[in-house]
């Protein structure tokens, strides 16, 4: 399992993975998922337009699947990136995709047409995050760098070269838009102060192996990290201190790499290489 996305409302979410199936889950009845779409290759990334029946899946071969579960004739696969589509995010009226070819592409969310693409790196672009307040997209790459792109003009505003010792697998803006959190193959969690000339304010060896994903809780009090070391870690967003380790022995967590997280209003969702989706209730105490 590689991808998670919000569902039609706060009680539903979507998952996708190596079998190409896109499944809808109801958190009130989590035992059985509902298959809503399928593609012919592994799904690496997923984006949903809640309430419309439309979603986008990025596959391992660089295909961008525009899926309409209401009007099937509108469904199509566009072979766009030369390699895997590693992340998909949305802004107002636009969708952005990144791929293993080092290209960042912008799409019209209504027509599904590619508007502009440009070569940002000569290596894979692994992850993105969007700040509406800053009108900015952060992009992490396998060249160890983090790029900051103007979401309107696509101008390159800032590059943090060698931000990590290896590929950057996840970036996340803090809810107040002051900090950017980043993690990657070097297992180090770094925090950058965007209001102080992108100064690094924290560096922690957060996991034993690759940090695959970082996500904040809806209330902004916590953030969670997922890793190839099979653990999920919960952190205090105020002081960046570790609060809890969710592992196999103590909590019956994943037995393989944890690849993706999704924080719903009252539940944290995780998925991983063990082909499992798990729901966690994180309390302040």
Q: How confident is the model at residue 70 (pLDDT cuts 50, 70, 90)?
A: confident
- In this structure, is residue 36 part of a structural domain? no
What would you measure as the largest C-alpha separation in the chain, in angstroms? 50
- Summarised one tens digit per residue, pLDDT across range 193-205 is 999 999 999 999 9
- CATH code of 226's domain: 2.130.10.10
Residue 72 has pLDDT above 80, yes or no: no
Q: Write out the DSSP string of 119-185.
A: E--SS-EEEEEEETTTTEEEEEETTS-EEEEETTT--EEEEETT-SSS-EEEEEE-TTSSEEEEEET
Three-state SS for 65? strand
Q: List CB contacts of 283: < 8 A, sequence separation 6 or more.
A: none
Tell me the C-alpha distance between 196 and 130, whole Å. Answer: 19
The per-residue pLDDT for 51 is 85
- In this structure, is residue 26 part of a structural domain? no
Compute the Cα dihedral for 8, 10, 11, 17 and give only its sign. Answer: positive
Which of the 8 DSSP states describes residue 269? E
The per-residue pLDDT for 73 is 79
- In this structure, is residue 131 part of a structural domain? yes
- In this structure, is residue 34 part of a structural domain? no
Three-state SS for 279? strand
- In this structure, is residue 168 part of a structural domain? yes
Domain interval for residue 248: 47-280
The per-residue pLDDT for 285 is 62
- Summarised one tens digit per residue, pLDDT across range 99-125 is 999 999 999 999 999 999 999 999 999
Tell me the C-alpha distance between 178 and 10, whole Å. Answer: 27
- In this structure, is residue 42 part of a structural domain? no
- In this structure, is residue 152 part of a structural domain? yes
- Summarised one tens digit per residue, pLDDT across range 204-214 is 999 999 999 99
Three-class SS of 199-258: EEEEEEECCCCCEEEEEECCCCCEEEEEECCCCEEEEECCCCCEEEEECHHHHCCCCCCE
Residue 246 has pLDDT above 80, yes or no: yes
- In this structure, is residue 139 part of a structural domain? yes
How many distinct structural domains can be found in the chain?
1
The per-residue pLDDT for 57 is 97
């Amino acid at each position: 399992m590689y991808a998670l996305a919000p569902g039609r409302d706060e009680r539903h979410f979507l998952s996708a993975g190596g079998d190409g199936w896109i499944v809808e889950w109801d958190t009130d009845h989590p035992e059985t998922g509902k298959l809503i779409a399928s593609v012919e290759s592994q799904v690496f990334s997923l984006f949903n337009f809640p309430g419309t029946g439309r979603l986008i899946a990025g596959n391992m071969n660089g295909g961008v699947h525009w899926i309409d579960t209401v009007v099937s004739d509108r469904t199509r696969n566009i072979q766009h990136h030369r390699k895997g589509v590693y992340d998909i995010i949305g802004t107002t009226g636009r969708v952005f995709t990144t791929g293993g070819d080092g290209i960042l592409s912008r799409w019209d969310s209504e027509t599904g047409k590619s508007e502009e693409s440009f070569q940002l790196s000569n290596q894979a672009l692994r992850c993105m995050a969007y700040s509406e307040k800053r009108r900015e997209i952060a992009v992490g790459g396998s060249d160890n760098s983090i790029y900051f792109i103007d979401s309107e003009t696509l101008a390159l505003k800032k590059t943090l070269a060698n931000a990590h010792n290896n590929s950057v697998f996840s970036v996340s803006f803090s809810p107040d838009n002051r900090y950017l959190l980043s993690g990657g193959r070097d297992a180090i969690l770094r925090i950058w102060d965007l209001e102080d000339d992108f100064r690094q304010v924290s560096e922690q060896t957060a996991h034993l192996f690759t940090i695959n994903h970082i996500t904040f809780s809806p209330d902004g009090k916590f953030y969670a990290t997922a890793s190839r070391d099979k653990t999920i870690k919960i952190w205090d967003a105020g002081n960046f201190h570790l609060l809890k380790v969710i592992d196999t022995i103590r909590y019956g967590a994943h037995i393989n790499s944890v690849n993706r997280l999704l924080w719903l209003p009252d539940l944290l969702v995780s998925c991983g290489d063990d082909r499992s989706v798990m729901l966690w209730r994180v309390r302040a105490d």
